[in-house]
Amino acid sequence: MVLLVCLPRLLGIVYIPHTQVGIIEKIWSSKGSLREGQIIARNGEAGYQARFLRGGIHFGLYPWQYGIHKDPLVVVAGGKMAYVYARDGVPLEPIQTLGRTVDSNHFQDAMRFLETHGQRGRQRGILREGVYAINLALFVVVTEERVFSGPVRESADRYESWKAQLASMRAFDPVVIGTGAGGQSYFRAGITETSASEAGSPPSLAAATPDFNPNVDTIGVVSIQDGPT
């Protein structure tokens, strides 16, 4: 019985459930090890690989050469946002706080992120509500519910602290620009309550905020705290 369970893995066959991704860790490689400061292998070196496995059956991943770490898909709840930290990439400039935005299919293409000079550290780009297949060896995703930190062995305190800081600022909620007697907070609360009561139905602005006036324009003023001066 044990042999039947272990045989597929010994033959290099790996099954990834469709609710997970498989992070590939190459145990040894003829191409050597990663350079100092690198976390993700781009060219087949030993270490965590840029490519990862989506749900399904995969072949050629023999256990004496590859370790497979199964991690959940990243889920961002409806009406919420998530924040991303990159463990690898080009270092930030001294004047930067956030990494520049690069085309990486919402952080789902780790190789493209690295090849287009994505930067390590906290990212300017965010994730909106949805389900994402992300290489959690490269990226850490912070949602309101949890921190998706993947298989890398490191202290999670820094990310939990960031999560608490974001929660204290209500930074997981999108900013809504609108009018109403109660102001923006009243508007946001009304939307939340209406969404819950209607079991997923799109909330009506009129129902959520009786004082909402669609004929009055409202603007939001944005102050940028990062980037060239």
| pLDDT reported for residue 153 | 86
Q: What is the mean pLDDT of residues 98-121?
A: 96
Which residue would you say has higher pLDDT here, 3 or 97?
97
Written as six digits, the tokens of 47 are 């270490």
pTM for this model (two decimals): 0.80
Least confident of 55-64, 66-75, 134-143, 189-198: 189-198
| pLDDT reported for residue 10 | 83
Which residue would you say has higher pLDDT here, 81 or 35?
81
What's the half-sphere exposure (Cβ side, CA atoms, 13 Å) at 92? 19
Please check the confidence at residue 4 and state whether its pLDDT lies above 90: no
Q: Give residue limits of the domains in the chain.
A: 9-71, 72-168, 175-221
Most confidently modeled range among 49-63, 164-178, 192-206: 49-63
